[in-house]
Each structure stands twice: as structure tokens, then as C-alpha cells.
Structure 1
């Protein structure tokens, strides 16, 4: 997955990397939905009182839009591969396809499913944008769903483990956002991502070597 990220970040073309992504500008913590669609957080993902609170962006990863398209492309490719299995079995039963060819189609479909599960696991945990509310008590994590849409997950700041207390290093390609409660773990890249508000970021994650 590290190789995938490096390849994405090296893609040429000013249309992609020469300017901030369309719709990623933020003023006063306004919702950014264009990079992965307009899907709202579900009630299960929302915390009481967050609907009326203002959130300030502290971090963003511009290339998340590329990973959005990669996620959707992988789902479409896997669906097409799996759909090809029933015709393959039919042709084999009619003697129109050799057994080796049927095994090849089945192997490709199985590999595509395995890759979809692996890539989806990572994409759904890759952080696109981080927000903190004005009181500094709630962290909002914008990430992708299985289908490549945006999803916001709320985490109490008190439950977030500072990176200074983990074994991750800011120089690494990915660092984890972990919680004391052991709930969902997210991944962000300080190497390719951009810290928008350093003061609020350090209040949540601690003073890192690269931020001093």
C-alpha cells in the first residue's frame, strides 16, 4: 500500500497536483463534501450535540480524491470479474471452455476479491481531513466508505492516544490514530498530508519531533 501511495503522489499533471482539490477550501470549519460526494454521517457515527458545533480543520490529505476513484474503480473491476464466473461455468458445461481456462477465470475472480478486501480495509481507514471542535473536545475524522463515499466519524479527544505515546514515528509513511477504548484505528500520512492548524493538532496528538 505504501507503493500505491508513492505512485499516486508521483502522478504528473498540474491539473491534479498543481492546486488544492476543488471543493477542499474551508472557512470556519465548514463541511467539505465534494471530494467524496455528499453522503452525511449516519446517526450511529454522530455524537450528541455535534450537529450544532463548529469544527476547525487541522489536517488534510489532498490526494484522498485519487484514492476515492481508486476505491470505486476496484469495486467496479471486482464486480465485472465476478460477473464473468456464471457464463464461464455455463460455457464449460457446454464444452465451449477448457477446464484450465475456467480455473484461470476463477483464480482471477478470487484474487480480485482478495485485493478488494485488502485495499478496502486500508482505504476506509485512510484519513482525508481532520477537524476539532472549538472547545477542543471532539475530533472529526473524514475518511472513505467501502463504496468510495465520504464518511465522518467522531472521536472524543480524551479517548485519542497521543502519537507521542505510541511507537509510530512522524517520519514514517503512515502513522496511526488510535483510541484508548480500542475502537477503529485510522491512518494518516504526515509526509504527504498537510497540517493546517499546528496548535490544535499538537493539542490532540502531542508535540511531535517534526512539528517542533
Structure 2
């Protein structure tokens, strides 16, 4: 079957809903329009996932390097160098993952423009989605502490002030500037 005549399939994506109402039940079956996208979100997710592989490689390699050092195949400093490189790499990747946690890669809005879907990266580098009502967004002018970093804007919620998402202004692409400004007040 050619691509031109294939029926459009709507798939329901796993989302976490902040507020539960009947309008959110139909959210998986509505058309979503992309308002914001961050092209480098896949790279950020890969960096966040890399710390798991770094941990496995460091933990699996230390006994091998220790055994080779005791057998006289490696110098006695090899274990110290291997563990220092492995642990410092792990610390660096973990700090990068903390900085990239809740970084928004895509923002979608439904046809009625009353719900938005935020697709963001969690600490482990996995894509998570959150379904929010537009009234729940706290505009930047109403936030208690504005962002000190000009290239990052926080997305705060009225219902859960502790939950914050990060939005990169400089590298993200806004497809509908008027709607974006109406939603976030930037």
C-alpha cells in the first residue's frame, strides 16, 4: 500500500495527566499541533542515557583492570587512572542529566487550545509526556522568581508549584509565535 493512500492512524501516547476531567479522556484522540520543538532534544536524551553505560563500563572494568594489575600485565597505577576517569565521567554525566531533567523538547496544543502536551526528557533520558490545561500554566510575569538564565525559561504550574519544566529559548523553534506568547507570556 502506498504512503499516499494509507489511512492516518491516531495512536494514543502515554501521558500523565495533572488534572483529571472528562476533556482529558478524549485528549489522546484529538489532533495535536506542534507549537514548539527543540531539535537537539535527542542529543540531550542520549547524553542522559550515557551515564548508565558509563556506570556499567566502569563497574565491569575495575575488576578486570585490578586482576591485570595483580598479574603484572598493567602498571600499578592503571586501576587508579581507570577508576578516576570512570568516576569523573560518571559525575560529569550525572550533573549534565540533572541540568537536562524536565527539559521540554516538544509542546503540542489541541484543536480547542484548552490542553497542551509537554514532551520532556527525564533524568534517565526517557521521553515523558505531561497533559496540562492551559489555565494551569503560570505566565512568566506572574512567577515569583524569574529565571536568572536568559536562555532558559521555567514553565510553572498553578496546581503544583514544585513541578517545573525547562524551556530553551535560544535553540528551540516556535512554529506559532502568537499562540506561544499567549500561552507562556514570553
TM-score between both structures, scaled by the size of structure 1 = 0.64
For residue 203 of structure 1, what is the aligned residue in structure 2?
182
Any idea what the Cα deviations from partners look like across 1:67-93, whole Å, max 9, x if unmatched? 344444454344323321221233345
8 A contact 1:164–1:205 mirrored in 2: no
Which residue of 156, 161, 164 corresponds with 1:182? 161
Distance between the aligned counterparts of 2:165 and 2:76, measured in 1? 43
1:59 aligns with 2:32: no
For residue 125 of structure 1, what is the aligned residue in structure 2?
102
For residue 170 of structure 2, what is the aligned residue in structure 1?
191
8 A contact 2:49–2:125 mirrored in 1: yes
Any idea what the Cα deviations from partners look like across 1:35-66, whole Å, max 9, x if unmatched? xxxxx425xx2464122233222111122233
Higher relative contact order (CA 8 A, sep 6+): 2
8 A contact 1:78–1:112 mirrored in 2: no
Corresponding residue SS for 1:129 = strand
Cα RMSD after superposing both structures: 3.0
Matched residues, number: 168
8 A contact 2:35–2:108 mirrored in 1: yes
- Structure number with larger C-alpha Rg: 2
Name the CA shift for 1:182/1:88 in 2 (closer, same or farther; >3 Å): farther
Which structure is higher in strand share? 2
For residue 14 of structure 2, what is the aligned residue in structure 1?
41
8 A contact 2:50–2:93 mirrored in 1: no
TM-score between both structures, scaled by the size of structure 2 = 0.71
Unaligned runs of 5+ in 1: 1-29, 32-39
Q: CA deviation at 1:184?
A: 3.0
Distance between the aligned counterparts of 1:115 and 1:154, measured in 2? 32
